[in-house]
Amino acid sequence: MIGNLDYSTLQHIWWIIASLVGSLFLFLTFVQGGQTLLFTVPRDDDEKALIINSLGRKWELTFTTLVLFGGALFAAFPKFYATSFGGAYWVWMLILFTFIIQAVSYEYRKKPLNFLGSTTYEAFLFVNGSVGILLIGAAVGTFFTGSSFSLNDYNQVTWQTPYRGLEAAKNLFNLSLGLFLVFNARVLGAMYLVNNIDHKTLTDRCRKSAWKSFLWSLPFLLYVLANLLFMKGYARNPETGEIFLQSGKYLQNLLGNPATLALLLLGLLLVIYAVAITCFKGKNNGIWFGGIGTVLVGLAVFFLAGFNNTAFYPSSYDLQSSLTIYNASSSHYTLTAMTYVALSVPFVLAYIAYVWRQMDSKRLTIAELKSENAEEMY
C-alpha cells in the first residue's frame, strides 16, 4: 500500500511525521524547563538533587527526539536541512552548543574532581533550558516571518545578513515565540516534577512556579496568536509553484482546515486545564494534559506553516527561493522507503511508554537518593 502512495501524499505524510517529532520535542522540553527552575525553586541541596535526578532520567529522551527531528528533516526535506543549517549558521550552532553542555552536566555535576565545579554544570543546564529553547523558538518563528536567503540554480544557499540567523531574534514575533516556549517549558517542567517527586514542600513550590510561568507565558502567546491571525503569509500558487505574499494567509489556513483549528483550540484548552488542576486542585497529573496540549498546539503551528500551499521556510529576500513541502522534499523513492521505516515509530513509542511506566511507578524520594545506590545518583 505504501508503495502506491503518490508523491504529494508522501510529502504531506512526512510533514506530519516531522511535525509530530517536533511537537513531541516541545512536550519533552519539560526537561529544559525544569532545568531553569534549579536556581529558584529548591531551597537546599537535597531538593536540588531531587530535581536533577528526576529530570536526569528523562533528559536523553528529549535530546534524542531533537536528534531525530534533525534526522527526519534531513531524510525527508534535505533542502530545508541544507538551506537552514548552512544558512542560519550561528543560530543553529548556538542551539547545539547549549545541548553539548547539557549532555555532560547531569553525569558530571556531582562527581568528585569534576574540574569545572557543580555550579558550572548547573549553569550549563540553565543556559540549555533558557537560551537553547529561546533560540529554537526564534528559529521556528522564521517559518512564518521568513529569512533573508536566496538559492541559485543548483540550490546553493546565500545568506543575506552577516548575523547568519541570529537576526531572527531581533524580530518581535520570533522573540515572542521563543519566550513563550521558554515559559511553557517551565510550566511543563514544574508539572512534571510535581508528578515525579514525592516531597510536599518542594512540589508545592513547583505548583506556584507553574502558575507564575504560565502568567508570564500569556502575553507572548497572545502576541504570537494575534500576529498569526493578521500577518501576511507566504502562499504558493498551486498551478505554477510561484510564491507570493498574501494577506491573512495563516488565518485562511486556519479557517480552511478545521482540523488545524481544532488542534490549536483543544491544545490551548488542555494546557490551561493542566495548569488549573495543578495549581488550584492539587492534582499531580497535569503534565499529561499539558504535554498533550503542547503537542497539539505544536502540530497546529507546524501545519499552519506547511500545509495548504504555504511556504514553510520562506525567504523574505527572494520569494521564489522559499521552501515548500513540494520543492524541499526527498525523492518519491526515498520518501516511500522512509515511510516503511516510520511504521516502527508506534513500536518505539510503545516501549518508551512501557519503560517510563516501569521506572516511574514509584515517585522519587530523598530516601532513594541516599539509598544503597547513592553513588549512582546524579
Partner 1 sequence: MVEQIDLTQVNWARAQFALTAMYHWIFVPLTLGLSFLVAFFESIYVRTGNEEWKRLTKFWMTLFGINFAIGVATGIIMEFEFGTNWSNYSWMVGDIFGAPLAVEGIFAFFLEATFFAVMFFGWNRVSKGFHLFSTWMVAIGSNLSALWILVANGWMQFPTGMQFNPDTARFEMENFWAILFSPVAISKFTHATSSGFLLGSLFVVGISCWYLLQERHQTMAKRSIIVASVFGLLSATYVGFTGDEAAYTVAQKQPMKLAAMEGLYDGQTSAPLVAAGLINSSKLPGDNQQPFAMEIKIPGLLSLLANRDPGSFVPGINDLVFGNRQQHIIGAQEKIEKGKIALELLRTYKESRKSGDQAIADASLKAFGDYQGNMGYGYLNSPSEAVPPVGITFYAFHIMVVTGAIFPLVLLLILFFQIKGNLASHRWLLYLGILCVPLGYVSQQAGWVLAEVGRQPWAIYGLLPVKVANSNLTSGTVMTTFFLFLGIFTLLLIAEISILAKQINIGPEEN
Residue ranges in 356-375 that form contacts with partner 1 under rule CB under 8 A: 358-359, 361-362, 368, 371, 373, 375
Site for partner 1 in 60-79 (CB under 8 A): 60-61, 63-64, 66-68, 70-76, 78-79
Out of 86, 216, 252, 273, name the contact with partner 1 by CB under 8 A: 86
- What x/- string results for residues 98 through 137 when contact with partner 1 is judged by CB under 8 A? -xxxxxx-xxx--xxxxxx---------------------
365 φ/ψ angles, rounded to the nearest 5 degrees: -125, 165
Helix and strand numbers, DSSP H then E, in the chain: 17, 4
- 312 scored as a contact of partner 1 (CB under 8 A): no
Measured distance CA(133)–CA(357) in Å, rounded: 27
Out of 174, 220, 338, 339, name the contact with partner 1 by CB under 8 A: 338
The residue among 178, 181, 191, 197 whose CA lies nearest residue 56 is 197
- 16 scored as a contact of partner 1 (CB under 8 A): no
Out of 20, 31, 136, 157, name the contact with partner 1 by CB under 8 A: 157
Site for partner 1 in 199-218 (CB under 8 A): none
**Angle at CA 215, nearest 5°, toward 211 and 220?**
140
Q: What is the DSSP string of 207-258?
A: HHHHHHHHHHHHHHHHHHHHHHHHS-EEEE-TTT--EEEETTHHHHHHHH-H
Query: Shortest Cβ distance from residue 118 to partner 1 (Å)?
Result: 12
The SS3 of residue 341 is: helix
- 143 scored as a contact of partner 1 (CB under 8 A): no
Cα dist. 327→119, 146, 189, 233, 244 in Å?
A: 47, 16, 38, 18, 15
**Eight-class DSSP state of 116:** S
Query: Shortest Cβ distance from residue 288 to partner 1 (Å)?
Result: 19
* Residue 287 CB neighbours (<10 A): 24
- 3 scored as a contact of partner 1 (CB under 8 A): no
- What x/- string results for residues 35 through 54 when contact with partner 1 is judged by CB under 8 A? ------------------x-
133 touches 125 (CB < 8 A): no
Q: How many residues bind partner 1 (CB under 8 A)?
A: 79
Of 89-97, 131-139, 196-204, 301-309, the window that binds partner 1 (rule: CB under 8 A) is: 89-97
Out of 12, 13, 123, 164, name the contact with partner 1 by CB under 8 A: 164
Query: Shortest Cβ distance from residue 225 to partner 1 (Å)?
Result: 30
Query: Shortest Cβ distance from residue 205 to partner 1 (Å)?
Result: 24
Query: Shortest Cβ distance from residue 256 to partner 1 (Å)?
Result: 30
Out of 118, 155, 171, 246, name the contact with partner 1 by CB under 8 A: 155
**Angle at CA 249, nearest 5°, toward 18 and 81?**
30
